[in-house]
Amino acid sequence: RMAALRPINKVSTGHTACIHDIAHDYYGKRLATCSSDKSIRVFDKDENDEWKLTSQWSAHKSVIWRVEWAHPEFGQLLASCSDDRHVIIWAEKESTKHTGGGESQVKFQSVATLVDFQKAVTCMHFAPSHLGLQLATCCNDGRLRLHKGDPTNLNMWTVVGEFEPDGTGFGSYVNCVSWNKSRVDGPTLVVGWWRASDPKVSSVGVWGYSHEQQRWSCITRLELEADTKGGFSEVRDVDWAPTMGRQHHLIAVAVGSTVQVFKLPSLQGWQERKVEALERPAVLTVGEGQPPI
């Protein structure tokens, strides 16, 4: 049995309410946090491997659910989504000196606000850099949207895709998304949702973009396993693992008190064939009495 791991470091964030998300940048040198206190904080690792608060600001008018760094080839960009129905893109500007000659303060400024949502935006994920500056967003209005930014003018963002996973509609919460990082499969992502009136009605689907048809289509659905009591719970998160030279894909789904790991074949040429999971998912279960994931 594996021994319990203890933290090697603790960071005092200064948030005054629940922290909902944390995100490392591409190099693991920066850390962003967001909270119910409506603020974002950015920490940089110094030469002593200590996390130092370098920027903090009031970012939204309501709870902030997620923060996400873009790939560094697009600059120091940070996105945040909130209950206020907005997604905001933040860009780092030149550092400003504190009065009195103290340490400089990193400054992030809003460069774009995405307002195409009818309800809370609960999740988002930047596309891998080879697909350009794209952001997938999940909304409680039952829709997934894809925005594309102009790297030469970060104020310009347009909706380039939009769909309802499995015909979810306005009564469903589309609440998690993850991109396929592979360069050979084309644009593909995994999406999770659950029914607002009955969280036990949940589903996860793999979607791909067809350049010929110029639209997103469902490639396959992942058949979730029941929990130890024979029931189903809402899907809370999904993650598409890097392929790392494998001939198949691994997708992890957090549902109830389990993490279910699915194995998919290569998705090359998915438009011409049926794609299904290679086997039933491996199910990792949280110990008895533990809260849902």
Per-residue confidence (pLDDT) for residue 268, from 0 to 100: 82
Task: Convert the pLDDT of each residue in 133-167 to its tens digit.
Answer: 999 999 999 999 999 999 999 999 999 999 998 66
Range from 117-131, 149-163, 169-183 carrying the lowest mean pLDDT: 169-183
Question: Percent of the chain having pLDDT more than 90?
Answer: 61
pLDDT of 9 above 60: yes
Q: How many C-beta atoms lie closer than 10 Å to residue 241's C-beta?
A: 14
Mean pLDDT of the chain: 88
CA distances from 184 to 34, 60, 181, 220, 254 (A): 34, 38, 9, 18, 27
Higher pLDDT, 168 or 151: 151
What order do you get walking across the sheet with 235-240 strand by strand?
Answer: 235-240, 248-255, 258-265, 282-285
Task: Convert the pLDDT of each residue in 217-252 to its tens digit.
Answer: 999 999 998 766 666 778 999 999 998 888 899 999
Cα 105 to Cα 55: distance, rounded to the nearest angstrom: 6
3-state helix, strand, coil in the chain (%, to 5): 5, 55, 45
Per-residue confidence (pLDDT) for residue 170, from 0 to 100: 65
Per-residue confidence (pLDDT) for residue 102, from 0 to 100: 56
Q: Indicate the pLDDT class of residue 271, thresholds 50, 70 and 90.
A: confident
CA distances from 278 to 55, 62, 183, 203 (A): 46, 42, 21, 18
**271, 218 Cβ separation under 8 angstroms:** no
> First vs last Cα of the chain: how many Å apart?
21
What residues are paired with 162 via a beta bridge?
A: 145
Per-residue confidence (pLDDT) for residue 100, from 0 to 100: 54
pLDDT of 278 above 90: no
Higher pLDDT, 203 or 79: 79
Per-residue confidence (pLDDT) for residue 95, from 0 to 100: 66
What superfamily in CATH does domain 19-95+105-232 come from? YVTN repeat-like/Quinoprotein amine dehydrogenase (2.130.10.10)
